[in-house]
């Protein structure tokens, strides 16, 4: 196996979590933790079914972002995590985590950044009437979907597309490229070691 430990942060359905875990044996890292800020998120069950440890928290239960991020950092450090993959994590990662992990936190976003950052990127692109959109994988920095881009894949918006068909086609791309890019990043990391 590998000696790189990783965590996935997610808040919702977890289809990207699942796509990554389906390739677990060939990622080049071991996903040892799911961090989730929503106790009702379906992704939690997906992790537990696979025997992945979970850290689920209620942000409202903490006085500050720093307080809950400190808890997260403790969990990550206890498990020797060096890479974080955001997969539908609906929060801005703050300084407490960034100061330790910057350059090793990756996000997937359903648009061709810098176009349509933030929430509902698929809806934003659809409403804007653009003819192409896509998927971006990028490093996280302090901004909203502003960090250095690692990879992008374009997708034509077809005249017959609805918001739903567009979403389905975008997610299909996400599920293909996220595990692939993780694998490439892990290979580079291994080579540098």
Which residues are known catalytic residues? 109
174 binds ligand GRF (CB under 6 A): yes
CB of 68 to ligand GRF, least distance (A): 20
**Per-position x/- string for 5-24, each x denoting binding to ligand GRF as judged by CB under 6 A, each - no binding:** -----x-xxxxxx-------
Q: How far is the CB of 2 from ligand GRF (least distance, A)?
A: 23
CB-nearest residue to ligand GRF: 88
Q: Is the peptide bond before 114 cis (omega within 30 degrees of 0)?
A: yes
Q: Rule CB under 6 A: is residue 113 a binding residue for ligand GRF?
A: no
CA atoms within 13 A on the CB side of 180: 11
DSSP symbols for the chain? --S-EEEEEE-S--HHHHHHHHTGGGSSSEEEEEEES-TT-HHHHHHHHTT-EEEE--GGGSSSHHHHHHHHHHHHHHTTEEEEEESS--S---HHHHHHHTTSEEEEESS-TTSS-SS-HHHHHHHHT-SEEEEEEEE--SSSS-SPEEEEEEEEPPTT--HHHHHHHHHHHHHHHHHHHHHHHHHHHHHH-
Given the rule CB under 6 A, which of 45-53, 76-84, 107-115, 184-192 is the region that contacts ligand GRF?
Answer: 107-115
**Subset of 43-82 contacting ligand GRF (CB under 6 A):** none
Tokens of 63: 């006085």
Query: Nearest distance from residue 27's CB to ligand GRF, in Å?
Result: 16
88 forms part of the interface with ligand GRF (CB under 6 A): yes
Name which of 96 and 107 has its Cβ closer to ligand GRF: 107
User: What is the closest distance, in whole angstroms, from the C-beta atom of residue 145 to ligand GRF in the complex?
Assistant: 9
Q: How far is the CB of 130 from ligand GRF (least distance, A)?
A: 17
- Binding-site size, ligand GRF (CB under 6 A): 14
Are residues 2 and 186 in contact, defined by beta-carbon separation less than 8 angstroms? yes
**Choice between 29 and 137, CB closer to ligand GRF:** 137
User: Residues interacting with ligand GRF, by CB under 6 A?
Assistant: 10, 12-17, 87-88, 108-110, 171, 174
């Amino acid at each position: 196996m590998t000696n790189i430990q990783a965590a996935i942060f997610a808040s919702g359905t977890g289809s990207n979590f699942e796509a990554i875990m389906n390739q677990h044996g060939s990622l080049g890292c071991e996903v040892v933790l799911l961090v989730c800020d929503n106790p009702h998120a379906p992704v939690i069950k997906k992790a537990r079914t696979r025997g992945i440890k979970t850290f689920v928290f209620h942000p409202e239960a903490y006085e500050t972002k720093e307080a809950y991020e400190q808890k997260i950092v403790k969990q990550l450090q206890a498990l020797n995590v060096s890479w974080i993959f955001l997969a539908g994590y609906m929060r801005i990662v703050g300084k407490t985590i960034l100061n330790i992990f910057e350059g090793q936190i990756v996000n997937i976003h359903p648009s061709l950044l810098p176009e349509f950052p933030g929430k509902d990127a698929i809806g934003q692109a659809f409403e804007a009437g653009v003819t192409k959109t896509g998927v971006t994988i990028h490093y996280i920095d302090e901004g909203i979907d502003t960090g250095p881009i690692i990879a992008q894949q374009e997708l034509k918006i077809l005249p017959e597309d609805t918001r739903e068909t567009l979403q389905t086609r975008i997610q299909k791309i996400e599920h293909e490229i996220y595990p692939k890019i993780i694998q490439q990043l892990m290979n580079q990391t291994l080579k540098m070691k």
